[in-house]
Amino acid sequence: MNVVVVPGADGSGLLRRAGEETEAVADLAAAVRELETRAGNGPAGDPAAGGDGRGAGRSEDGAGPGGRGAGRGGAGGGAGRWVWADTREVYPALLERGVRLARCHDLVLTEGLLLAHEGRYGEPRSVRAAHARLHGLPVPDDHEQDHAGHHGPGARQAVLFEEERPPPPDAGLVAEVHADQLRRIEATADPRRFRLLVAAESAGALIAAEMAHDGMPWRRDLHDALLAEMLGPRPVHGMRPPRLQALADEVTAVFGTSFNPDSVQQIVKAFKAAGTPVSSARAHELKKIDHPGVAPLLAYRELARFHSFHGWAWADQWVRDDRFRPEYVVGGVVTGRWATSGGGALQIHKAMRRVVVADEGWTLVVADAAQLEPRVLAAMAGDRGLARAAGQADLYHALARAFGGERDHAKIAMLSAMYGGTSGDAPKLLAVMRQRFPEAYRFVEDAARAGEEGRLVRSWLGRTCPPPSARWRELVSGPEGSRAARDRGRFTRNFVVQATAAEWALALMAVLRGLLPDPARLVFFQHDEVMVHCPQELAGEVAEAVGRAAEEATRLLFGPTPVRFPMEAVAVRCYADAK
Partner DNA sequence: TCGGAGGGCGCC
Partner DNA sequence: AAAGGGCGCCCTCCGA
Positions touching DNA (CB under 7 A) are 151, 260, 262-266, 268, 280-284, 298, 301-302, 304-305, 308-309, 314, 329, 332-335, 337, 339-344, 346-350, 368, 412, 415-416, 419-424, 426-427, 487, 490-491, 494-495, 498, 526-529
Q: Which of 287, 112, 98 is nearest to 205 (CA)?
A: 112
Between 132 and 339, CB nearer to DNA: 339
Least distance in angstroms from the C-beta of 263 to DNA? 3
Least distance in angstroms from the C-beta of 244 to DNA? 11
Between 93 and 456, CB nearer to DNA: 456
* CB of 523 closer than 8 Å to CB of 532: yes
Q: Which of 249, 227, 235 is nearest to 296 (CA)?
A: 249
Least distance in angstroms from the C-beta of 425 to DNA? 9
Between 177 and 244, CB nearer to DNA: 244
Q: Which of 66, 322, 321, 325 is nearest to 211 (CA)?
A: 325
Between 185 and 567, CB nearer to DNA: 567
Least distance in angstroms from the C-beta of 385 to DNA? 21
Q: Which of 301, 278, 282, 279 is nearest to 291 (CA)?
A: 278
Burial of 365 (0-12, 13-18, 19+ CB in 10 A): buried
Between 28 and 286, CB nearer to DNA: 286
Quote the CA–CA distance of 417 and 145 in Å, as a whole number: 39
Between 18 and 283, CB nearer to DNA: 283
Least distance in angstroms from the C-beta of 496 to DNA? 11
Quote the CA–CA distance of 197 and 336 in Å, as a whole number: 10
* CB of 575 closer than 8 Å to CB of 366: yes
Helix, strand or coil, per DSSP, at residue 464:
strand
Least distance in angstroms from the C-beta of 380 to DNA? 16
Query: In degrees to the nearest 10, what's the CA dihedral of 251, 255, 256, 260?
Result: -60
Other beta carbons within 10 angstroms of residue 162's beta carbon come to: 8
Strand partners, 487: none
Between 34 and 302, CB nearer to DNA: 302
Quote the CA–CA distance of 195 and 191 in Å, as a whole number: 6
297: Cα separation from own chain's centroid:
33
- The amino acid occupying position 530 is V
Between 222 and 415, CB nearer to DNA: 415
Least distance in angstroms from the C-beta of 298 to DNA? 7
Between 12 and 526, CB nearer to DNA: 526
Q: Which of 225, 229, 526, 226 is nearest to 351 (CA)?
A: 226
Query: In degrees to the nearest 10, what's the CA dihedral of 93, 96, 97, 100?
Result: 80
Between 2 and 498, CB nearer to DNA: 498
| DSSP structural state of residue 289 | S
Quote the CA–CA distance of 505 and 507 in Å, as a whole number: 5
Rg (CA), the chain: 26
Least distance in angstroms from the C-beta of 255 to DNA? 13
Least distance in angstroms from the C-beta of 85 to DNA? 22
Least distance in angstroms from the C-beta of 254 to DNA? 17
What is the DSSP code string of 96-145?
A: HTT---S-EEEHHHHHHHHHHHTT-TTS--SHHHHHHHHTTPPPPPP---
- The amino acid occupying position 193 is R
| DSSP structural state of residue 361 | T
Between 121 and 309, CB nearer to DNA: 309
